[in-house]
């Protein structure tokens, strides 16, 4: 079959609903939303990503747990939340991942914070870092050289998600405190490119 060519510069389109299974109040966005309550909804309970890659957040102003949202249908919170350590049934803000570029993504991961220790340059998806020879279940720091990546706490793309982009922080994430407001440890056991 012929595949369409993803457009690395967007446009972006996401349709969100305030009830599960694409029911209730329906809203379309082509750019960031900092607080869904300002749009007259108390929460987002289902969504469809129609164009581009997005990241959703637990709280308003792009804070709290992060959820990568690639093209497709998300009928319930379980379809985007990778962690049930405590239940996240909130998705209050979201924005496009402008630098997502599935074909040309490169990241360098370091054993320790501040870009020291063993390092490994990656340009593919790794559902298990340890299976590929990484020595432990942590990454100390990362430099995103191109594209956008999502790191996960557990193997197989499970657990907390951390979105890493070449066009934020200059692509440099030198300590887990820079990974997001929900990051509490260096534990990362899988990571992959984000697909535009």
Of 120 and 172, which has the nearer Cβ to a copy of itself? 120
Among 26, 59, 70, 181, binds a copy of itself (CB under 8 A): 70
d(CA 143, CA 79): 29
Shortest distance (Å) from residue 157 CB to a copy of itself: 4
Contact 192, 184 (CB under 8 A): no
Of 38 and 135, which has the nearer Cβ to a copy of itself? 135
Q: Which of residues 140-179 bind a copy of itself (CB under 8 A)?
A: 153-159
Shortest distance (Å) from residue 132 CB to a copy of itself: 6
d(CA 121, CA 52): 26
Return the SS3 of 49.
Answer: strand
- Confirm or reject binding of residue 56 to a copy of itself (CB under 8 A): no
Of 37 and 116, which has the nearer Cβ to a copy of itself? 116
Shortest distance (Å) from residue 40 CB to a copy of itself: 27
d(CA 27, CA 45): 12
- Confirm or reject binding of residue 9 to a copy of itself (CB under 8 A): no
- Confirm or reject binding of residue 125 to a copy of itself (CB under 8 A): yes
d(CA 16, CA 19): 9
Among 44, 68, 98, 151, binds a copy of itself (CB under 8 A): 68
Among 37, 116, 118, 185, binds a copy of itself (CB under 8 A): 118
Contact 191, 125 (CB under 8 A): yes
**Whose CA is closest to 69, among 148, 14, 6, 124?**
14
d(CA 131, CA 119): 16
What are 149's strand-pairing partners?
A: 164, 193
Q: Which residues bind to a copy of itself, rule: CB under 8 A?
A: 1-4, 6, 49, 53, 68-74, 76, 78-80, 82-85, 118-120, 125-134, 137, 153-159, 189-190, 192, 194-196
């Amino acid at each position: 079959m012929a595949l369409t060519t993803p457009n690395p510069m967007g446009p972006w389109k996401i349709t969100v609903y305030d009830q599960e299974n694409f029911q209730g109040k329906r809203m379309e966005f082509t750019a960031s939303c900092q607080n869904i309550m300002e749009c007259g909804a108390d929460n987002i309970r289902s969504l469809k990503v129609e164009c581009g890659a997005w990241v959703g957040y637990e709280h308003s102003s792009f804070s709290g747990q992060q959820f990568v949202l690639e093209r497709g249908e998300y009928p319930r919170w379980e379809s985007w939340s990778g962690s049930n350590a405590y239940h996240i049934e909130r998705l209050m803000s979201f924005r496009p991942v402008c630098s997502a570029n599935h074909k040309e993504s490169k990241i360098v991961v370091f054993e320790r914070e501040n870009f020291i220790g063993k390092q490994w340059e990656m340009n593919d998806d790794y559902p298990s870092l340890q299976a590929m020879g990484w020595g432990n279940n942590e990454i100390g720091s990362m430099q995103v050289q191109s594209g956008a990546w999502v790191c996960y706490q557990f193997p197989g793309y499970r657990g907390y998600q951390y979105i890493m982009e070449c066009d934020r922080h200059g692509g440099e994430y030198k300590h887990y405190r820079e990974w997001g407001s929900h990051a509490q440890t260096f534990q990362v056991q899988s990571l992959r490119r984000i697909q535009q």
